[in-house]
Amino acid sequence: MLKCEHSNVQLPRLVLASASPRRAEILESVGWEFVKAVPEIDETEREGESPEDYVVRLALEKAGAIAAGFPRDTVLGADTTVVIDRRIIGKPRDLVEARAMLRSLSGRWHEVLTGVAVFGERGHRSGLQRTRVKFSEMDDGEVAFLAERGDPLDKAGGYAVQAQAALFIEGIEGDYWNVVGLPISLVYRLVNELTGGRSEPAATSG
Per DSSP, the three-state class of 116 is strand
**In contact, 175 and 183? CB cutoff 8 Å:** yes
**In contact, 20 and 50? CB cutoff 8 Å:** no
The full length of the chain comes to 206
Per DSSP, the three-state class of 54 is helix
Cα 143 to Cα 136: distance, rounded to the nearest angstrom: 11
- Catalytic site residue from 42, 53, 73, 79: 79
Give Cα separations from 146 to 31, 40, 78, 92, 153 (angstroms).
Answer: 31, 30, 25, 13, 12
79 catalytic residue (yes or no)? yes
For residue 81, the cross-strand partners are 113
- What is the rounded radius of gyration, in angstroms, for the C-alpha atoms of the chain? 17
**In contact, 142 and 107? CB cutoff 8 Å:** no
Report, as residue numbers or ranges, the catalytic residues. 79
